[in-house]
Every structure is written in C-alpha cells, then in structure tokens.
Amino acid sequence: MLIDLIKCHGSNNDFLLIDESDRNYQLDDFKRRDLALALCDRENSLGADGILFIRPSKVAEAQYRIFNSDGTEASMCGNGLRCAGRYVCEKLGVEEAVIETLKANLKVRKHEEIFSGIPTYQVEISPVTFHLKDLPLNLEQDTLLQEKIPGLSDELTFTALAVPNPHLTTIVSKEQLDSNLQTELSVKVNQPNDLFPDGVNVSFIRLLEKGSIFVRTYERGVGYTNACGTAMSASTLVTCLMNENEWEQPIDVYNNGGMVRCAVHKKGDTFTIDLIGNATFVYSAKMDVDFTVDGILTEIFEQENFHEDAQYEKLQEHAKKYLSRF
C-alpha cells in the first residue's frame, strides 16, 4: 500500500505526518501502533519521535492523533500540534483552525515568525489539571506542588500536572541538570511502577533570567527528545505558579532543539497556555508499506525536500549562543 507522508518537526522534536482524511488507508489502531514502532526506528527506518495522524472530524477542521515511537498513543503533543496545525491550515487555505484531539478541541493559528524565515504557529494547550488522579500519580493526596516524592529523590521537589498528558516537573540547578538524576528517576517512573502506572513525561527546568527558562524532557514512550511542547508549556506554568515568571507574559523556553515562546493565562483556577514556535517541514515522500513484512516499510520514493532546515539552523545557533551565557 502506498502512503504519503511529511517529515516535520517542532524544536527538532520530529514526526512523520500521515493524512488519512482524503485517502482510505484503512488503518486501525493496531496498524497505527505498528507503523509507529516500525517507522520511528532511527536505526532501521525513517526515524522520528512519533507519528501524527490527521483524520476527518465531525466537530473541528480536522482530528489529530499522536503515537509515540514505542507505539503508545498520547492524549496530546504540543510540538506535533504546531506541525499538524500548519498542515491543516495550509491544506484548507486558512490562517486558523480548530483541531480535535483526544481530550479537547484546540485552537491553532499561524503566528508572526518567532525568528526570521521560520514558519510559526501558535497552539492552545488545555485542559490543565493538577489532580493526581488525572495523571495518574498514586499518592495519598490530591495534588503535588513543589513537594518531595518519597522513594524518588531525596533532593528534588516536584510539581505534577496534566495538560492533559501527564507531566512531572522539577526546578534544578546547573549541577543537577548535568548529573544523572533525570535519567535515573525518569527510567524508574516509566517502567512498571506503583507511582505512575501509565508512565509520565519528566522535565528538568532551569531558570535562566526573568522571562526565560531552559527545559529538558525525558518523554514517556520515547526517552529524551530535543524538546517536548506540552512539557515546556507545563514547565512555564509551574514557573509562574512559583512567582518566577508572570502570568499573561511571553516566556522564552529554550530546549536542546531550539526555542519556543509560551504564555500562561489564568482565570480563577483555570489555566490555558499558548505555545508558539516553529512548524518546520523537512521532506515529503510516498512510501510503500506491507504490514506482513518485518519493518513494514518496503520502499520510499518521490522524496521532495522543503529546504526549511537551513533557516531553522540559524534559530538553533541563536539559541545556543544565548544559552552559552548561563
């Protein structure tokens, strides 16, 4: 079977985008999982952090689903939503749209360039909840705000939230960021364990200066990625809660793949986050897949380069130069 795809990335968190809406690929969730497992493999196949599936929607301009590279489905992916948002807007010839995701219908819109020559999209990250049952995190309390988790780390304090995928965040020093702490505890909470039965995305946050943070995330279902959009959104919210940053103000969030901008809106106890950043298309291709064959991908052809990466590298150089100050 021939399937069209676009390789794309948000902050170098990279995806394969497959539009099922005009073509009857007859994918079911087993096939979507198998495609994610096979095609995301960086050693033997195309390589990516996940697959974005675009599907028809009865309630929005399109439906969007995200499968991690380990074949599990996530309720949300922020960097992927910017890419999906761009794809849907360009396909429909519009500047904004609503995309149906597993737990919410979310607004996406074309945005002024975050850096010269970079296609930029703003996406809504919502709903946000701090109830531990929503992650889930099995502790005998309702929320976890800047607290220790017994058995996880003696030195770090954590905040847990779902946006709506689950996140565990902690604000760290440069020394803690450079240590093995993040790997050790992320592996622990993403293998079968009593605290997080569904796993969790673990972010280490470094406060750089007012209005600017660095976030590195070990993603559930993937491992370390260059960036995680929902994690950067959740982390920005946590820094506002701790009075390190301000509500409603743009915060620059640096990551290992570049930088994005987040703004957190607070109305009473309700939070929404704007995530603004690149939606970069790398190449488009047609692939031949056979689900009965090991590795599934049998041939890839008609590859076309979008030539957007050279400009993106300039954003990365700018981000690296800024980070070298800290």
Q: What are the Cα distances from residue 71, in Å, to 38, 39, 256, 317?
A: 9, 10, 24, 33
Residue 304 labeled ligand binder: no
Is 228 known to be catalytic? yes
Contact between 277 and 120 under an 8 Å Cβ cutoff? The reply is yes
Task: Please identify which residue in 101, 120, 230, 245 interacts with ligand LBFN2T5F, judged by CB under 6 A.
Answer: 230
> Which of residues 119, 164, 229, 257 is near ligand LBFN2T5F by CB under 6 A?
229
SS3 for 191? Answer: coil
**Distance (Å, rounded) from C-alpha 28 to C-alpha 30?**
6
Beta partners for 106?
99
219 annotated ligand binder:
yes
- When the beta carbons of 225 and 316 are compared against ligand LBFN2T5F, the nearer one is 225
Does the protein bind ligand LBFN2T5F through residue 253 (CB under 6 A)? no
Q: Which two tokens stand for residue 233?
A: 């959104």
User: For residues 94 and 86, what is the distance between their CA atoms, to the nearest angstrom?
Assistant: 10
Contact yes or no for 48/117 (Cβ under 8 A): no
Annotated ligand binding at 299? The verdict is no
Distance between CA atoms of residues 79 and 10, nearest Å: 5
Residues 106-165 that bind ligand LBFN2T5F (CB under 6 A): 165
Nearer of residues 173 and 183 to ligand LBFN2T5F, judged by Cβ: 183
* Identified catalytic residue from 77, 83, 89, 262: 77
Nearer to ligand LBFN2T5F, 212 or 226 (CB): 226
Q: Is the dihedral of CA 147, 151, 154, 160 positive or negative?
A: negative
Q: How far is the CB of 325 from ligand LBFN2T5F (least distance, A)?
A: 26
Please, are residues 87 and 19 in contact by the beta-carbon 8 Å criterion?
Answer: yes
- Hey, which residues between 183 and 202 contact ligand LBFN2T5F (CB under 6 A)? 201
Residues numbered 72-91 forming contacts with ligand LBFN2T5F, rule: CB under 6 A: 74, 77-80
Does residue 83 have an active-site annotation? no
* Smallest distance from ligand LBFN2T5F to CB 147, Å: 22
Tell whether omega for the bond before 164 is within 30 degrees of 0, i.e. cis: yes
Rg of the chain, C-alpha, whole Å: 19
Q: Is residue 13 a known part of a binding site? A: yes
Residues contacting 38, CB < 8 A, separation 6+: 45, 295, 296, 297
Nearer to ligand LBFN2T5F, 135 or 297 (CB): 135
Bridge partners, residue 51, by sequence: 16, 67
* Residues contributing to the annotated binding site: 13, 68, 78-79, 165, 201, 219-220, 229-230
* Residues contributing to the annotated binding site for substrate: 13, 68, 78-79, 165, 201, 219-220, 229-230
Residues annotated as catalytic (active site), given as ranges: 77, 228
The residues that touch ligand LBFN2T5F, with contacts defined as CB under 6 A, are 13, 66, 68, 74, 77-80, 165, 201, 219-222, 225, 228-230
